[in-house]
Amino acid sequence: EPEVTQTPSHQVTQMGQEVILRCVPISNHLYFYWYRQILGQKVEFLVSFYNNEISEKSEIFDDQFSVERPDGSNFTLKIRSTKLEDSAMYFCASSPGTNTEAFFGQGTRLTVV
């Protein structure tokens, strides 16, 4: 069964460093998303990506964040100059169409120390 895959599963980084979280969405899906979940809190939307550009972004997704689809399969989230409060689970998701079901990867646990 097709699935969204994310790497790494866990990343520890020092405050101020840059991190890149990687995702391979399901191959025939058109919409890609990043969400995050701080421990004990809601799953929060960060950004959506369609047709090689950002289609929506939340207030959380400020200049510290960027997304890229460098080739036909990978979808990345870059966090520049990480802060302690960026510590969270980051989930990539993809969906085949608009307002259709989204499937989530297993997540990357980011710990900023």
Partner 1 sequence: QKEVEQNSGPLSVPEGAIASLNCTYSDRGSQSFFWYRQYSGKSPELIMFIYSNGDKEDGRFTAQLNKASQYVSLLIRDSQPSDSATYLCAVTGSARQLTFGSGTQLTVLP
Least separation in angstroms between residue 102's CB and partner 1 is 6
Q: If DSSP codes are grouped into helix, strand and coil, which group holds residue 72? A: coil
Binders of partner 1 in range 77-106 (CB under 8 A):
89, 91, 93, 95, 98-106
Binders of partner 1 in range 18-77 (CB under 8 A):
31, 33, 35, 41-45, 48, 50, 55-56, 58
- Enter the tokens of residue 34: 């990043």
Residues 6+ apart with CB under 8 A from 32: 23, 25, 48, 49, 50, 69, 75, 92, 93, 94
Which positions lie near partner 1, rule CB under 8 A? 31, 33, 35, 41-45, 48, 50, 55-56, 58, 89, 91, 93, 95, 98-107
